[in-house]
Structure 1
Amino acid sequence: MNPLTKSTTSVPIGPQAAARRSRPQVLLRKYGWSLAFLLPAAAIFLLFLWLPIMKGFVYSFYSIDFVNGNKFTGLDNYRTVLADPDVRIAIKNTLYYMFLCLIIGFWVPIVFAIAISEIKRFQGVFRVAAYLPNVIPVVVLYGLWRWLYDPVGPINASITSLWGGEGISFLSDTSWSMISLVFMETWQQFGSAMLLYLAAVLSIPRDWYEAAEIDGAGIWQRIRHITLPSLRSLILLMLVLQIIGTSQAYQSQLALLDGGPMNATLTYALLIVKYATTRLDMGTASAMGVLMFLVLGVLAMLHFRLDRKGGDAA
């Protein structure tokens, strides 16, 4: 057979196959710069977030000793967590703190956002005034409120001058210490949440309010039937974020009272810090962190499930 006329089994590459083969190159050419800009952020996210999370899972099964080396202990760290009475106290205090933040602080930014949206003049001034406490450095904040809560401070002076009797031991009384921290943090942090609610309120079509006014609806009826239903998804999201945030609270409890008086402000996250830094028991601290991670993960998945149902219903 003539080699020039010899048949071959190779199949020529058609235009569709060539297009499929060149598709990764097209995508790389199209999104290459975007991926290049995303890579540093993704690397930082992986290095400083997910790597510590995974190492925390691993360390929860070890007795951490930086001198003699780590020793595998199985579930001993988790048994220590479940047997420690301070853990039960910390869980109770954390739930109490979350409850106080919900009934005292959660509705404050919503109320301020709706009130500011109804103001016709100097609205920008009120926005800035409401957000100003959020920019105060925490060192100044704690010093300011320690002075305000002092037994001879301005709050107690006002109480005794108006109602007489003795003042309130805001920071040394176990009944008032956690409530005092919640009031302080609500005053300082409600401004950022208020701006989010205010943006959502201002995005509601004004035609709805005008139609309600023509129908004779008052301000409370407009808020009840237009504003609050329009904010439902945002309120649910902020509720979940607040639950997650307040469950990890420890900064003010540590800076002002170090968990006192008599462990009245000892939160779960603060106990983790104490296990890691004071007791130098990194394995038990990791086990506590893993348990918190699992609980908060369940809450996040519950939120996504509820939000999806709400979107499908809408």
Structure 2
Amino acid sequence: MSQSTAVPIRQSDPMPKRAPGKWKKHAWGYLFLLPAVVIFFTFLWLPIGKGIVFSFYHIDFVKGDTFVGWDNYERILKDPEVVVSVKNTLYYMMLGLLIGFWVPILFAIAISEMRRLQGFARIAAYLPYVVPLVVLYGLWRWLYDPVGPINAVITKIGLEPVLFMTDKAWSMISIVIMETWQSFGSALLIYIAAVSSVPRDWYEAAEIDGAGVWQRIRNITLPSIKNQIVLLLLLQLIATSQNFQTQYAMLDGGPNNTTLTYALVVIRYAFTRQDYGSASALGVLMFLVLSLLAIIQYRMSNRKEA
């Protein structure tokens, strides 16, 4: 019987499965992001794009829009009110940094050093933030009144009463003090969370080495929360550059345009003069400046991380 020399046929190895593509792998994630993207596009990105387009038009809802090129930008750059508002806004931002920016940092550090009643101190510091704006404005108008409680204390110690609302030297300072009292509670919570995340072993080691309170704050606390300080600094600069409601509600830009801010000029162009093209041009200039600030902050944070 002859022996078979046929070579058995070897079955080919199964083809490896192709890895799912990036889009298929994250399809459900993109699906959940879709509503947020639609909302942001409809209510944020689309208005920004339309505002840039409108800045080159004279907007007329009856006769139709007319392309005017750079005329809106030339008009607002020659407007004395715009120049005054830019100066006032820079002054307002500077006062916000000098008066209000360090308040939540100091309170957060002080509360973190407390041995008792920390919870009560946190609640008490945050309470002004929940006061409605209508109540807030009425309260501080009463406090700043020429015969109000603050001036009553000032006259009792033998000084002249201060005209907080009508004196040019005090009007913007008064607004910053009021806003600092009302809004520092939200930043305080962020700083408290940052301070609480610092390892307690560092403080205990510093106390064993004989470091005092100020040495612990300077060498441990402040370096540990510097990223939060830089972030909230940028957020405060953006918020103060866009603020107008306090100036509008308390003094309407007065006295004699002393509290007239850039955002308030935009509101006047849009809703008082109904010059929507120039108002859009003002908004585009603000958008460019704030974008530049954000880019600078982003580069600084990346450089520090590197």
Q: 1:274 to 1:15 in 2, by over 3 A?
A: farther
State how far apart, in whole Å, the 2-side matches of 1:117 and 1:257 are: 38
Within the candidate set 161, 167, 175, 1:167 is matched to: 161
Within the candidate set 227, 230, 234, 1:236 is matched to: 230
Is residue 27 from structure 1 mapped to residue 25 from structure 2 by the alignment? yes
How many residue pairs match? The answer is 293
State how far apart, in whole Å, the 2-side matches of 1:24 and 1:199 are: 36
Is residue 43 from structure 1 mapped to residue 38 from structure 2 by the alignment? yes
Offset, 1:25: 7.2
2:163 aligns to what SS in structure 1?
coil
State how far apart, in whole Å, the 2-side matches of 1:295 and 1:217 are: 43
State how far apart, in whole Å, the 2-side matches of 1:41 and 1:127 are: 33
- Deviations along 1:125-148, one digit per CA (max 9) or x if unpaired, are 110000000000000000100110
State how far apart, in whole Å, the 1-side matches of 2:191 and 2:137 are: 27
1:285 maps to a residue whose letter is A
State how far apart, in whole Å, the 1-side matches of 2:152 and 2:22 are: 72
State how far apart, in whole Å, the 2-side matches of 1:220 and 1:119 are: 14
Gap runs ≥5 in structure 1: 1-13
Q: Which residue of 2 aligns with 1:187?
A: 181
State how far apart, in whole Å, the 2-side matches of 1:234 and 1:144 are: 32
Within the candidate set 121, 125, 128, 1:130 is matched to: 125
For the aligned residue pairs, the C-alpha RMSD in angstroms reads 1.3
Gap runs ≥5 in structure 2: 1-13
Q: 1:221 to 1:73 in 2, by over 3 A?
A: same
Offset, 1:231: 1.0
- Deviations along 1:121-171, one digit per CA (max 9) or x if unpaired, are 111111000000000000000010011001111011111012x24311101
Q: Give the TM-score, by structure 1 length.
A: 0.91
What percentage of aligned pairs have identical amino acids? 62
State how far apart, in whole Å, the 2-side matches of 1:212 and 1:127 are: 26
State how far apart, in whole Å, the 1-side matches of 2:168 and 2:116 are: 44
Q: Which residue of 1 aligns with 2:4?
A: none
State how far apart, in whole Å, the 2-side matches of 1:174 and 1:308 are: 42
